[in-house]
Amino acid sequence: PFEVLIVGGGPAGASAAVYTARKGFSTGIAAERFGGQVLDTMGIENFISVPYTEGPKLSAALEQHVGEYDIDVMNLQTAERLIPASQPGGMHEVVLANGASLKARSLILTTGARWRNLGVPGEMDYRNKGVAYCPHCDGPLFKGKHVAVIGGGNSGVEAAIDLANIVGHVTLIEFDSKLRADQVLVDKLRSMKNVDILTSAATTEILGDGERVSGLEYKNRETNELHKVELQGVFIQIGLVPNTEWLKESGLELSKHGEIVTDARAATNLPGVFAAGDATNVPYKQIIISMGQGATAGLSAFDYLIRTEPA
């Protein structure tokens, strides 16, 4: 058993592990894929103090930093079930897909999230080559260009407002017959000069020249006609899904969006169970924020362990 077991090996998990290991606690990390979403990222320009890095490089740096300490990294391990301790100070149990069980007095859950994909031809081929998911991250790469935002909920409309200030032109594409975002956001978007809004439009394909995105094709759902738009970027904003399905039966409190509910100390409703990063209800999903909350979770686990007698 560990004193602290971290489930998830992205920026949040790596940060939490370094903090608990530095407190002298035996620490383990079980991760489906060490590095997390960072592995799928190309240029990173908002990890403060590092003006430019790339996902694989940052992921290797996370691994190296974790490797400086006596941390047991169990990569390619998927957690399937959490069995919380029956009393404070007791052992929590995490059941893995391979049938094994890991136990620890304190847990830090950092299983992250995944962007919902459109599932149309071209999307995967041009990922990081014009297909983007994060306007805070990649918006400035499209300065002066024409981009589409797919999705007319709050995140899509916010992304379109954000991008319209940076890029040349934004086409917002919504599948439904109307935008679903808050009215203030819709009003703000409609007031912007360099924005077109298409509703009842189903994106059917992301087009490219073999190297980068060059346009997209959509179907007008009222007329069934196909149309093409020339553009250089497509931001897909149809939802960020937390990787918390495995926690549903555990008694851990999840929000209506499936996010782990945490407080300012990264504590959950279960004593000794903490959580950090994109899997939680922390506002704004970013590397630097995940690492910050991971550090908070690590320090809170320390606080818990020094105050709670083993059961």
Residue choice 4, 5, 6, 7 for contact with ligand FAD (CB under 6 A)? 7
The whole-angstrom separation of Cα 74 and Cα 66 is 12
How far from 18 is each of 22, 26, 27, 37, CA to CA, in Å? 6, 11, 9, 19
Please provide residue 100's backbone torsions phi and psi, each rounded to the nearest 5 degrees.
-75, 165
Site string for ligand FAD, 178-217 (x = CB under 6 A): ----------------------------------------
Q: Determine if 33 is a binding residue for ligand FAD (CB under 6 A).
A: yes
Residue choice 2, 19, 25, 34 for contact with ligand FAD (CB under 6 A)? 34
Considering only the C-alpha atoms of the chain, give the largest distance between any 2 of them, rounded to a whole number of Å.
Answer: 68
- For residue 32, what are its two tokens? 């489906």
Q: Per CB under 6 A, which of residues 262..281 are in contact with ligand FAD?
A: 277-279
How many distinct helices (H) and strands (E) make up the chain? 6, 19
Q: Determine if 137 is a binding residue for ligand FAD (CB under 6 A).
A: yes
Is the Cβ–Cβ distance between 72 and 237 less than 8 Å? no
Comparing CB distances to ligand FAD, the nearer of 78 and 199 is 78
Q: Determine if 113 is a binding residue for ligand FAD (CB under 6 A).
A: yes
Comparing CB distances to ligand FAD, the nearer of 134 and 186 is 134
Which strand ranges, in their side-by-side order, compose the sheet holding 226-230? 201-208, 213-220, 226-230
Q: Per CB under 6 A, which of residues 81..100 are in contact with ligand FAD?
A: none
Q: Determine if 235 is a binding residue for ligand FAD (CB under 6 A).
A: no
The whole-angstrom separation of Cα 20 and Cα 75 is 19
Q: Determine if 44 is a binding residue for ligand FAD (CB under 6 A).
A: yes
Residues in contact with ligand FAD by CB under 6 A are 7-13, 30-34, 36-38, 40-41, 44, 46, 78-79, 110-113, 115, 133-134, 137, 243, 246, 277-279, 285-288, 290
